[in-house]
Structure 1
Amino acid sequence: MPADEYFEHHREHETDASGHWVPTADDPWGGMPEPRRLEWCRALLDFPPTFPGPTIMTFAAARIRSGGSVHIIDWTAQAMALEAVGFGPAEFMLLRLAIAKRVDELRARDDGRFVIDTMVVGYPSLTLIAADWADWLEFVAAGLTPLRAADLVIDGDRRSWPGGFIRGRDGTDWLTA
């Protein structure tokens, strides 16, 4: 899925039956409280889903570091998409750190899953496809480490997890190897 299509899809949602914040033209954060916006901005500054250019990035970094949030539309779309599947800023940061060594591998996939490569002019930006990572939250909540949960989501964990089962919150058993 091209990056523009992904972000456009997440911008168009006007309502959310599950109580998530709804972005509007006036407020791309959809009424999210300022402290939560700032948490997301700090996380997205370290792992931007798109690179807005050096000038905007410089001003955004200064504003975020001084305690203010920014309204970079693709960043808010990424945050809202992740919030919709249960991620918060801390979980997003943890996932990005867990997949850091596998980013090139994820970019190279040709099945359109997990990430959208948004790198321009050599700046390392990457958008996560939120729905593809929802199980990661369940696996971590069920007791897997973030790294093992990422392995399980990406490739069935054939590389590193000893065999066994974990049980999800809904009682579903997952075979881990």
Structure 2
Amino acid sequence: MANELTIPLLPCVDIDEMASFYEMLGFSVTYRQTKPNPYVAMRREDCNLHFYGMPGHVPEESHSTCVVIVEDTGPLYEAFAAGMRAVHKKVLIAGIPRMTRPRLRNDRYTGFVVVDPGGNWVRFSKAAQEPEAKTPLARAMENAARQADARGDERQALKILEGALKKADASEDVTEAEAFRDELIERITSSGQRPDA
């Protein structure tokens, strides 16, 4: 088999809300229908995402996900972030919808996640693996990214990062780890929880 094209079909409450969200990220509507079933197809370059309206769908309880492999996650993240800033005046990092920053995970791939208004986790991953982490803090960052950005367990990620920051060597640059810790705290508190609970 060669030259196949696989397109995920993901659930949502409202196809118009999904279209607006993805248009903010630079996608275009390629197909839309309201009857007999709500359906919208979105495309950005070679990335196709399709959504169907599902009565009773609860975004916070969604288990839907897909992976989009890209050459480099950095420029794509920046384009998505610019779209969010243009509409919301900030990058949405907590709640639904939200987007994580590109981070190296312990599977050696750099990636970021867009959680859309339907609660679907669209995972953008760099095609090539990165070199192995050299320091305990770098390995902790990867583990924290796996917990928070892949599994949605911000509390466990925060524990990992806080432990690693306490043990960090004075020669290590902790700026990125501290920024990630602050983001995790914001994500936890925006969900109505206390970070230390």
Question: Shorter-chain-normalised TM-score: which range?
Answer: under 0.3
* Greater C-alpha radius of gyration: 2
Q: Which has the higher helix share?
A: 1
TM-score between both structures, scaled by the size of structure 1: 0.28
Q: Which has the higher strand share?
A: 2
TM-score between both structures, scaled by the size of structure 2: 0.26
